[in-house]
Amino acid sequence: MILLSILLLIIGTIMFLKPDIIWMITESWKSDNAYGPSNLYKLSTKIGGVMMFLAGLASLIVQVFLI
């Protein structure tokens, strides 16, 4: 479970710092004229990244203090 918590921290950090990479991996293939992600996509990806990071951090803290 600690490995999953660390994975959540890493993915959440990437989502927050580089939402363009997430768009390139998940959404760019859906469009022929892909000019990049919209501002709304970037904002929602950053919010999701923060939530994922916080979930990973909370899980890590609970695991460390309960063991």
For residues 33, 34, 37 and 41, what is the CA-based torsion angle, rounded to 10 degrees? 70
Instruction: Return d(Cα 29, Cα 17) in angstroms, integer.
Output: 22
pLDDT of amino acid 59:
95
List per-residue pLDDT tens for the chain, 67 residues long: 899 999 999 999 999 999 999 999 998 888 877 788 899 999 999 999 999 999 999 999 999 998 7
pTM, to two decimals? 0.86
